[in-house]
Copies of this chain bind each other. A is one copy, B any other.
């Protein structure tokens, strides 16, 4: 059962391939009667344009690529990625554009995949995520000449188009809120230290703490997993001058940290305040529900996709600053215990 081609339609309609092509693409060159006849036949035999043949004539691939360099098990755990992907998807779907997804082992493989996709004409552009400091992917992408949107801070995006949100402002809001509650010993359980956004948050945290007189501020780096979040929390809470508040770089670690606190017979929030970065259902479902830095992640992804589609269209675009995460106070934050 071969797939029907325009040649089949042409034969049935008794016209040439060219006429069929004009008819199917709404081009002038055929009469309305013939066009209708051709369309009817095409519909009847279930014809679909072969994208390969179209691509061969310089058409778009109508797909964008996303190669994710994270171990599979982390992906399943982090709502962030799935929400981001849904957001990207929702925008792409509006333009009948598909998403080519591949989970890769490392950044070399990631770049190899992008090079292949681009070289093979399978994608029209790509989205780059989780930038490292001095990330080699940026210059390589620039050299490829492929339309690329970077989800991350402009300072690291080179000449690629960045879509970003101001993590520094979010950290500032959080720390100022905790300070207003009376906290003076605030710790932070951060993500991978190589990631650009971790560095930005690190610096902002330091700066704000110094500025408003929180002298005891410790930052511990982890790999974003619940296990490391728990371990970091245990260490922080075991120290002689333990923090009265901890800010976590994702919700998984915040929830794990909450468990550790309860395990150590500390009451949250009266003994320890907890703030989570990113506000998945997870944060709201635990007791007490977590004060969290909320952002609309699907919208974030959608904006990136939007920018990419514009770029693919050939229009020059600049950076896009998305709304910064905003603090949603819930039951996990309160004034510190009186010492």
Contacts and interface: CB of A to CB of B under 8 A. Distances in A.
A282 B76 CA distance: 11
A82 B252 CA distance: 15
Contact of A53 (B49, B51, B52, B102): B52
Interface stretch (A86-94, A198-206, A214-222, A314-322): A86-94
Interface string A238-253: 0000000000000010
A36 interface: no
Nearest to A229: B285
Interface stretch (A25-33, A112-120, A151-159): A112-120
Interface stretch (A124-132, A179-187, A254-262): A254-262
Contacts of A259: 285-287
A285 B48 contact: no
A286 B82 CA distance: 21
A131 to B, nearest CB: 22
A116 B93 CA distance: 13
A73 B56 contact: no
Contact of A52 (B87, B118, B121, B262): B121
- Which of A76, A83, A118 gathers most chain B CB within 10 Å? A76
Contacts of A85: 75, 101
Contact of A145 (B1, B104, B252, B285): B1
Nearest to A49: B120
Nearest to A116: B48
Interface in A31-65: 46-56, 63
Given A83-B72, A119-B3, A262 B285 contact: no
A47 B121 CA distance: 12
A21 to B, nearest CB: 16
A37 to B, nearest CB: 21
Given A48-B120, A51-B122, A72-B90, A100 B98 contact: yes
Pick the 10 closest A-B CB pairs, nearest first: A48-B119, A72-B86, A76-B83, A52-B55, A51-B120, A89-B103, A52-B52, A76-B82, A82-B82, A75-B86
Interface of A: 1, 3, 46-56, 63, 72-73, 75-79, 81-83, 85-87, 89-90, 92-93, 98-104, 115-122, 145, 226, 252, 255-256, 259, 262, 280-282, 284-287, 297-298
